Amino acid sequence: MPLPLTRSLASALVVALALTVLSLDSAQAVPPWNEVEVQRAPDQTAPDQTAPETKAAAKSETKTETLADRYTLGTEGLPQVLSDADAALYREIFQLQERGKWKAADKLIARLGDRMLMGHVQFQRYMHPTAYRSRYKELKRWLDRYADHPGAKAVYDLAVKRRPKNYTWPRKPARHRSTYIQRSEATTYAKVPSKRLSRSKSRRARQIKWHVRRYAMRTRLTAAEQLLATRETKRLLHPAEIDEGYAEVAAAWYYYGKVSKAYALARAAAKRSGEHVPMAHWIAGLAAWRLDDLPAAAEHFEQLALSRNASGWNTSSGAYWAARTHLRLRQPEEMSRWLALAADAPMTFYGQLARRALGMETRFDFRPHRLTPEGAEILLNTRESRRALALMQAGQNRRAERELLRLRNWNVPEAVEALLSVAERAKLPSLSFKLASRLVDSGHAQPQGDKLEAALYPIPPWQPKGGFKVDRALIYALMRQESAFNPRAKSRDGARGLMQLLPSTAGFVARNYRRFRGHRRNQLFEPSLNMDLGQRYVAHLLSNDRVGDNLFRLTTAYNGGPGNLAKWQRRMKLDDDPLLFIESLPARETRLFIERVLSNFWIYRARLGQPSPSLDSAAAGDWPGYAALDGASQEIAHREQD
């Protein structure tokens, strides 16, 4: 027989029922801007009553399960941290917000099950360049929640500008302590010694060095020499710093065509401070070669090759030119010795020439990196990499790159291997190249096997509109040097995209000078269009009478312009020595560009399974010619090293 309800018990049941209904309603009506991330936590259960021996057995059975085992793999073999439904929602949300469709995006945000990317969603909205003006409270709230995200510094700067009077200051971005080594600005020589000075005197010393460089760049070379000879300069600068200045002035005299003047300055600087200023040996060697003083040239090139304060690119240059000098001196044994030293740098321009001259086969290892269970575990245990994997699922690869570059695991080889594997599997050539090149430059953690060729020379996923008309090896070589495979790359001069095209150049190639003016110039960030216009410009240069199929002249014209190529050819008159032609070009950027692009070109020929007849020509002292080979080999090589 049921017991009668008391009034107090009935009231309690009514209240409990109402609270249950309210909790269910609130759970279903999630506001679109609720940024709580969904974490995959184990189920909460009642206190465990299992016998100790049973628990021990169960623990031993499940001990080998890793975090990576809880995630499925996507089509690229990467862990899927988002459900297919959430990945599709995020993809559409980012697309809608790019077009400023805020209300439509909010409707999709309300349907999300996992909100780990809401920091990126809000960042896109609040920092939209045209369609949204963010309020201070929004920016402050974003920093309170996402100060560890990429872009936090930009949000903070904007919040400071928009902070009303008497409002509390926004939270500062989290200090980022990645073990990732940032790449320096292509320093080719070690820093020279300096004096210990007070702050004011140090500032004045920097000003003097700045003026010397400025005078050298503007060919005010006598003024630069006079400044280096002053008492103040001698009092504030270390002797090696002064000789570094003289070496820069000597280089300017050399490229200006005053070879004897350059030799006198460079030889004196090298004699005093050659150990700290190897650049002085390089200029002295080139000048002595031009003056036909071959024994002196050999001595200076050898000193550069043996320098401990020069990069591999510069030591291989010195060694190769020392070999060339001994060849002219009819000293074959010495020539072979220095060629062998240059060949020790197989990824450099002169290293490749030396190996080909010696008949040495260079075998690259282009095998892809593996994503091991240990590497996957490391990735899935960090917030940055989980967000990066989620961003890749949502089609936001550039945002994913920024997350991965903030990881703290760069001193763990398994983590490096995993990152390189992620970049390759996700077809992120820019990230692959950045990761690998920084590792090479820094001497930091290497992936297992110490092989980085596949990441240093990635195969981009893009194609020109209408397909390749110029060999892929040449297009990839140019892209690697021009933009490091970053489709959004932009230079100070306004060049844009993968092949760094100026809007005026793009308009010329497209035969429509107005097509890329104003905001329309941003069309050049689109990979397939940029590559199409870039290869058409390359084809145009190859048809130029001054260029022809000559790869040295092609790269000179691509970087410096056809007009400068013609001017330099008239001024230098060095058609009988292709390598001396390169090393005598007055524009340092162009000299480096030629050597980097040709080195890239020959390595991409190897990666694509193609021969390099142009390398044979350059190693023989001839002008290297371009020959189309894509029709003969369309397969990417995956060569294994024995």
Total Cβ atoms within 10 A of residue 523: 16
Encoding tokens for residue 187? 């320093």
Pick from 165-169, 437-441, 516-520 the range whose average pLDDT is largest.
165-169
Q: In terms of pLDDT, which residue wins out, 415 or 8? A: 415
DSSP annotation of 79 reads B
At 212, the amino acid letter reads V
pLDDT of residue 515: 87
Confidence label for 226 from pLDDT (cuts 50, 70 and 90) = very high
DSSP sequence for 164-232: PTTPPPPPPPPP----PPPPPS---BPPPP-----HHHHHHHHHHHHHHHHHHHTT-HHHHHHHHTSHH
User: Phi and psi (nearest 5°) for 129?
Assistant: -70, -25
Confidence label for 252 from pLDDT (cuts 50, 70 and 90) = very high
Q: In terms of pLDDT, which residue wins out, 87 or 61? A: 87
**Would you call 221 exposed, middle or buried from its count of C-beta atoms within 10 A (0-12, 13-18, 19+)?**
buried
- Which of these ranges, 358-362, 480-484, 634-638, has the smallest mean pLDDT? 634-638
Q: What value does the mean pLDDT take over residues 502-513?
A: 91
Q: Is the pLDDT of residue 492 over 50?
A: yes
User: Cα–Cα distance between 76 and 224 in angstroms, integer?
Assistant: 58
Q: What value does the mean pLDDT take over residues 285-292?
A: 98
Helix (H, G, I), strand (E, B) or coil at 73: strand
Q: What is the pTM of this model?
A: 0.82
User: Cα–Cα distance between 159 and 12 in angstroms, integer?
Assistant: 49
Q: Is the pLDDT of residue 344 over 60?
A: yes
Domain ranges of the chain: 84-162, 199-310, 472-619
Place of tokens 């609040």: 126
Q: What value does the mean pLDDT take over residues 518-537?
A: 93
Q: What value does the mean pLDDT take over residues 585-613?
A: 96
Q: 189, 311 in Cβ contact below 8 A?
A: yes
pLDDT of residue 501: 95
CA-based torsion, 435, 437, 441, 443: positive or negative:
positive
At 362, the amino acid letter reads T
First to last CA, the chain: 87
User: Phi and psi (nearest 5°) for 259?
Assistant: -70, -40
pLDDT of residue 175: 74
pLDDT of residue 188: 58
pLDDT of residue 520: 86
pLDDT of residue 445: 43
Q: 162, 425 in Cβ contact below 8 A?
A: no
Pick the CATH number of 472-619 from 1.10.530.10, 3.30.2130.10, 3.30.420.40, 3.30.470.20: 1.10.530.10
CA nearest to 345, candidates 589, 61, 521, 595: 595
Q: Is the pLDDT of residue 46 over 50?
A: no
Buried b (16+ CB within 10 A) or exposed e, 181-217: eeeeeeeebeebeeeeeeeeeeebbeebbebbbebbe
Confidence label for 411 from pLDDT (cuts 50, 70 and 90) = low
Helix (H, G, I), strand (E, B) or coil at 129: coil
Q: What value does the mean pLDDT take over residues 474-498?
A: 95
- Per residue, the 3-state secondary structure of 409-440, as one string, reads CCCCHHHHHHHHHHHHHCCCHHHHHHHHHHHH
Tens-place pLDDT, residues 429-439: 999 998 888 77
Q: What value does the mean pLDDT take over residues 402-414?
A: 77
pLDDT of residue 609: 94
Place of tokens 């995006």: 105
pLDDT of residue 68: 54
User: Cα–Cα distance between 212 and 419 in angstroms, integer?
Assistant: 43
Confidence label for 376 from pLDDT (cuts 50, 70 and 90) = confident
Helix (H, G, I), strand (E, B) or coil at 113: coil
Q: Is the pLDDT of residue 332 over 70?
A: yes
User: Cα–Cα distance between 220 and 397 in angstroms, integer?
Assistant: 47
Please give the torsion angle defined by the CA atoms of residues 437, 440, 441 and 446, in that order, rounded to the nearest 10 degrees.
110
Q: Which residues fall within 8 angstroms of residue 477, CB to CB, at 6 or more apart?
A: 597, 598, 600, 601, 604
pLDDT of residue 72: 67
User: Cα–Cα distance between 458 and 139 in angstroms, integer?
Assistant: 38
Pick the CATH number of 199-310 from 1.25.40.10, 3.40.50.80, 3.40.50.1100, 1.10.340.30: 1.25.40.10
Confidence label for 74 from pLDDT (cuts 50, 70 and 90) = low
Q: What value does the mean pLDDT take over residues 601-630?
A: 96
Give how far the C-alpha of residue 235 lies from the chain's centroid of Cα atoms, to the nearest Å.
40
Average pLDDT of the chain is 85
